[in-house]
Amino acid sequence: MIEFDEHRSEKTGIDLTPMIDVVFLLLIFFLLTSIFGRVSLPVNLPLSGSVTPPEQRAEQVLVEKDGSIQFNGRTVSAAELSDVLKQLPRVVQERGVQLLSDRSVPFGRIVEVMDAIKRAGIERITVLADRKR
């Protein structure tokens, strides 16, 4: 004769652990993409009515309010900027450079930075601006 064990202690129900894991992974993904999608340094960009988003990710050169130049988080002079950009791989040079500048920076300083970029052999310079509201 077969005896059945009637004292099953297994819980019946849906295990929510995998779903919670997926939700947390999605949350982390969207938080990280929203953080890295912005300019890392606060710059008061000039306004323009015809702003279009840049096509692809390019190297960024930042000219701050005081006229200092930053490339990849490192402060460089205009002459050093040209040397640093010459050392970039050819593929990166072909994508071009995005130029960010505070609106209070004198135009002469912007031209000096653009000249340093051109001396490095980079022909494609994208000047970033904010859209007028």
For the chain, the domains span: 47-131
Determine the distance from the C-alpha atom of residue 58 to the mean position of all C-alpha atoms in its chain, rounded to a whole number.
Answer: 9
pLDDT tens figures, 3-37:
666 666 666 778 889 999 999 999 999 888 877 66
Q: How far apart are CA 123 and CA 105, in angstroms?
A: 22
b vs e for 105-131, b when ≥16 Cβ sit within 10 Å of the residue's Cβ? beeebeeebbebbeebebeeebebbee
pLDDT at 21: 94
- Tell me the whole-structure pTM to 2 decimals: 0.56
Record: fold of 47-131: Nucleotidyltransferase; domain 5 (3.30.420)
The interaxial angle of helices 107-119 and 78-86, nearest 10 deg, is 30
